A and B are shown apart, each in its own frame.
Chain A
Amino acid sequence: MKLRFFTLLSMLFLAATGAGAQTAEADAILGVWETGSGKARVKIDKVGEKYVGKIVWLREPNNEEGKPKVDKNNPDEKMRTTPLLGYRMLKDFNYSGEKTWEDGTIYDPENGSTYSCEITMTDENTLDVRGFIGVSVFGRTDVWKRVQVKKKA
């Protein structure tokens, strides 16, 4: 009886630590990242079980009239007054193991297009963000770098 109880406890412990390790690996993507062009920074958060990312910094935050940029290229007219700062451009990512997040989409505010997207973490500070059309071969990879936000004094 004691042996059976010990086995059960061990299994529960292993399952719990395994799941914890898996969660830690999946959450490694959380943080602030700069896009390849250096024009934007995106903060990746977890909402429920999904990973999402919103724009938190723009190199040129204002339009030619000096007003904050809005999503003027969105094909949906109702969205064209939405500020780009705070815009959720990454959606619906699931962690699929092996440092890869897939099934998500990425929105490009420069042309108003939404692409299928897969993210791979190549090292702790680098993401390969591949936007594609239908199949991965018709796509483009942008390499994002992690940024360290300096704490205000």
Chain B
Amino acid sequence: MRSFILVVGMLAGLAAYAQETDTTEVEDYSQYADAELAGDAKRFATQKVLDQSPNKLISIGYDYQSSYFMDLAYFGPPDVQGLIASPERVTNSFNSGLRLGANVPVISRNNIIVNLGGNYWETRYDIENPENVTNPLALSLDRYGLRTMGLSTTIFKPFNEKQVLFVLAQADLNGNYSLADIQSLKYTRYSVFAIYGWKMHDRLMYGFGLARTYRAGEQIILPLFMYNYTFPSRKWGVESIFPARAHLRRTFNPRSMAFFGYELEGQTYHIANRGNEFDQWLPNNADDLELRRGELRIRLMYERSIKDFIWVSVQAGLRYNWRFNLDQGDFYRGFTGDQPYLAENKIGNPLYINFSINLVSP
């Protein structure tokens, strides 16, 4: 009986060893080169090039901008002499806020991938000495900050081994609302882009497309150029959807990579007259204000796996102001529109940092 247990134990041990390291079997692997697919199988391009940064399924982040000035234009009524007051300079001590995101594949097959996503971003302001500030936009930002909540769907459709289509549709609710009193859905802003591309080989994919977006702060339609490339050494790469973002990538290994580049961020935010801050400046029409905020983030980023599929991402850089103007209502100005802004503001360009923990996709 004892020898029987011993033999069973040895066999179990051998089986476990074979399970881990079936790499020493002598087999003629050349026989598998000459083979063909059974049935009417078709091959499709995958959505990424080799070593491209992983998709984030869930992201929990925090964003912080250091102190900067704001020269906020006057948009109240002219004084008795018909003069318009000069811009008011205020200092914002910092911006901070949570950035939460989820992007989960609901259909994931070789011939189509459909992701559904949701995000919540907030930007809190801290205006110095608000009791001495008269500009109602500054007061509103100091009291309520800005929020963005959005839903999105991303579709990747390869037609064959080479030609692919990317489509993104997004609906965002942006404004100075609170979570307890979310603004009306009539202020939902829609963005969409489509890119038709070619995957030339495992390390190169490019494409051309069109976007209707609010990234520069207001509605704009612009062409896109996608270029994702990994150099033959696989130490360097490029990940870009120009002009929205472009990064040079340094891959240390598939679990650790750094980036240098930029991203254009922005939205149009509905500014409600929540605390009657705008009553004196706009006594009759303070209900339809839109803050056009667009910013360029020039940055260094480092991402790495800290445990299996949990990745940490740290970025630091310059937040360069692109636009921080007030409009009344959301309308299409485009590149050539000459509709005047209600207020054209200038703000400083502080340093910023961003930290996030992410669950990444297989």
Contact = CB atoms under 8 A, between A and B. Distances in A.
Interface in B82-111: 104-105, 108-111
B25 A86 contact: yes
A36 B46 CA distance: 8
A148 B105 contact: no
Contacts of A150: 34-36
Interface stretch (A7-15, A16-24, A94-102, A124-132): A124-132
Interface string B24-36: 1101010111111
Interface string A123-153: 1111010111100011111110111111010
B232 interface: yes
Contacts of A91: 19
Contact of B36 (A54, A110, A147, A152): A147
Interface in A74-131: 75, 82-83, 85-88, 91-92, 108, 110-113, 115, 123-126, 128, 130-131
Interface in B2-19: 15, 18-19
A44 interface: no
Contacts of B43: 36-38
Contact of A146 (B29, B38, B105): B38
A56 B33 CA distance: 9
B95 to A, nearest CB: 32
A43 B18 contact: no
A88 to B, nearest CB: 4
Nearest to B253: A73
Q: Interface majority SS on B: helix, strand, loop or mixed?
A: loop
Contact of A140 (B15, B41, B361): B361
A145 B254 CA distance: 27
Given A32-B32, A133-B309, A145-B37, A113 B22 contact: no
A74 B161 CA distance: 28
Contacts of A125: 37-39, 41
A139 B108 contact: yes
Nearest to B54: A111
A110 B22 CA distance: 19
Given A64-B233, A86-B25, A112-B255, A41 B35 contact: yes
Given A92-B19, A149-B32, A86 B255 contact: no
A68 B66 CA distance: 51
Interface residues of B, number: 47
B211 interface: no
Contacts of B44: 36
B19 A110 contact: no
Most buried by A among B15, B41, B104: B41
A47 interface: yes
Interface string B153-195: 0000000010000000000000000000000000000000000
Nearest to A106: B362
B161 A123 contact: no
A109 B61 CA distance: 29
B339 interface: no
A81 to B, nearest CB: 10
Given A54-B22, A148-B35, A138 B104 contact: yes
A112 B36 contact: no
Given A145-B41, A152-B31, A86 B362 contact: no
Nearest to A112: B254
A138 B361 contact: yes
Interface of A: 32, 34, 36-39, 41, 43, 47-48, 50, 52, 54, 56-57, 60, 64, 73, 75, 82-83, 85-88, 91-92, 108, 110-113, 115, 123-126, 128, 130-133, 137-143, 145-150, 152
Given A125-B41, A139-B105, 13 more contacts: A56-B32, A57-B29, A57-B32, A86-B25, A111-B54, A112-B253, A123-B39, A133-B57, A137-B104, A138-B57, A138-B104, A141-B108, A141-B109
Interface of B: 15, 18-25, 27, 29, 31-39, 41, 43-44, 46, 50, 54, 57, 104-105, 108-111, 113, 161, 202, 232-234, 253-255, 308-309, 359, 361-362
